[in-house]
Amino acid sequence: MKERYEIRLSGSGGQGMITAGIILAEAAGVYDGKNVIQSQSYGPEARGGASKAEVIISDKEIFYPKATAIDILLAMTQEAWGKYSGDLKPDAVAIVDSWYVKEVDRPGVISLPFSQKAREEVGLEIIANVIALAAISQITGVVSPESLEKSLMSRIPKGTEEKNRKAREIGFALGREARK
């Protein structure tokens, strides 16, 4: 584990990037006991438009709340990749959705079928954010699986527990596969 992680989760408004950021920050902060800050940037529209959530996780106190040198990037759309991949660290882990992101100008980018699996295996495309979050936790170890589980279950709407558990398992499996 590094002492400090700067994480950016990006996509289109309505893809649940801010929710994913909150779940990640709560898992790392409240349940793993780290210092965390979560911030976001979005447009005035409720759907569409580029949207990002940023999470900083650190063993030390965090003052400036925005990410400036990214350790972990998730891009769920081509637009988000274009807009938000400019300030990655050289050793950053970049993960993209294989359905919506077709072109990446960087070697070593991990492309995984979050949206496709969400649609085909859970029957709910908007749950791709949970699949992605679970995969990120497996690939990077930035948050413990137990804490992610607690945070996820406390933040999702009642009645969606089964779908979210399934999404998490799919994400864990994708992440384990990608790590090999």
Partner 1 sequence: MSKDIRLLQGNESCSLGAIYAGCNFFGGYPITPSTEIAEEMALMLPREGGRFIQMEDEIAGIATVLGAAAAGAKAMTATSGPGFSLMMELLGYGCMAEIPCVIVNVQRGGPSTGLPTKGAQADVMQARWGTHGDHPTIALCPSSVEESFKLTVRAFNLAEKFRMPVILLLDEFIGHMREKMEIPGPGEMEIYNHPQPTCQPAAYLHYGDGSSVGGAYASLGSGYRFNITGLTHDQHGFPTGRADEIQWKMDRLRAKVEDHLAELIEVDQEFMDDAEIAVFSYGGAARTAQQAVREARAKGIKAGLVRPITLWPFPNQALAEVLRKVKTMIVAEISQGQLLGEVQRVNQFHTKVVPVQRYDGEMLTPTEVVNAIVEAAK
Interacting residues with partner 1 (CB under 8 A): 22, 25-26, 29-30, 35-44, 63-66, 68
Instruction: Tell me whether residue 33 or residue 123 sits nearer to partner 1 (CB atom).
Output: 33
Least separation in angstroms between CB 97 and partner 1: 24
Instruction: Tell me whether residue 29 or residue 175 sits nearer to partner 1 (CB atom).
Output: 29
- The answer to whether residues 23 and 74 touch, using CB atoms and an 8 Å cutoff, is no
Least separation in angstroms between CB 129 and partner 1: 17
Least separation in angstroms between CB 35 and partner 1: 8
What does 105-174 look like in DSSP terms, one character per residue?
Answer: SSTT-EEE-HHHHIIIIIS-GGGHHHHHHHHHHHHH-SS-HHHHHHHHHHHSPTT-HHHHHHHHHHHHHH
Instruction: Tell me whether residue 88 or residue 122 sits nearer to partner 1 (CB atom).
Output: 88
Least separation in angstroms between CB 102 and partner 1: 29
Instruction: Tell me whether residue 71 or residue 97 sits nearer to partner 1 (CB atom).
Output: 71
- Distance, in Å, from the CA atom of 40 to the CA atom of 53, rounded to the nearest integer, reads 4
Please give the helix or strand (H or E) that residue 178 lies within, else none. Answer: helix 161-179
